[in-house]
Amino acid sequence: MSKPRIVLITGVSRGLGRAMAFKFAEFGHVVVGCGRSRKAIAGLQKELGAPHRFSVVDVTRDTQVSDWASEVIEAVGPPNLLLNNAALINPVSPLWEMDCKDFDEVIDVNIKGVANVIRHFVRAMVERKSGVIVNFSSGWGRETDPGVAPYCATKWAIEGLTRSLAQDLPKGMVAIPLNPGIIDTDMLRSCFGEEAGNYPAAEVWADTAVPFLLGLKASDSGKPLTVPI
C-alpha cells in the first residue's frame, strides 16, 4: 500500500486505537503507541511484538509525554503519522449536575492531552518538514446532543485547535480534525447502550479507516474530514 511508516497512536490499548494498531501492523507499518493500562499495554506488546513499541503514558502528564517522546524519537525517529486518539467521555448528565472531577478529566485528556503530544512530537516533525497529524474529533465536534456537553466542548475545541495548527505548519505537512464516524465501542455504549450494536465494530471500521488515513495528503490539511464508513 505504501512504504513503511512510523505510526504513533495515543489511546492504543482499546477501542479504535487497538483496532488501528493491528491494521497498521498488518500493512507493514511500525506502530508506536501509549495507553494508561499497564496490563493492556503489556498484552498488546506481547501480541504485536517488535519492532512495534507500546508504553504506559498518561497524556495529561506533560513530563510523561516529554520523556516518552524523547525515547521514541531517539529509537525510531519522529512519527510519519501521528494519531491523537486518546479520549474520555463524561457520564451522561445535564451539565449543571455533573461532578467537577468528571468534567476536569474530560477536558484534561481530550484537549490538554492532545496539546501535550503535539508539543513534544511535532517539533521534530517540523524540523524534518514532513508528517501528518490527525486529531480525533467526533460528530459531536460539529453538532451537539443533551447530556454530553463536556465531550462536545472538547471535540469542538479539537476542530478549532487543529485547523489553526494546520496554518502554523510548514508547507507539505498536514493537520486534520477527523470525525471517525459512529462505531460500536465502550465509549459509544456508555451513551447509546445496546443500540451501539447497530454500528460497525472497531475492527470493521479499521478496515476502511486505516487506508483512508494512509491516503491523506497535503491538500487535505486543515479540512474537517470524516472517515467514509
Q: Which residues are catalytic?
A: 151
Tell me the C-alpha distance between 16 and 65, whole Å.
21
- Residue 182 is given by DSSP the state -
End-to-end CA separation in angstroms for the chain: 19
Beta carbons within 10 angstroms of residue 162's beta carbon: 26
Tell me the C-alpha distance between 167 and 222, whole Å.
7
Beta bridge partners of 1: none
Who's near 226: CB < 8 A, 6+ residues apart?
178, 179, 180, 181
Who's near 34: CB < 8 A, 6+ residues apart?
9, 10, 11, 12, 41, 54, 55, 56, 57, 59, 68, 86
Q: Find out whether 17 and 35 touch, Cβ atoms under 8 Å.
A: yes
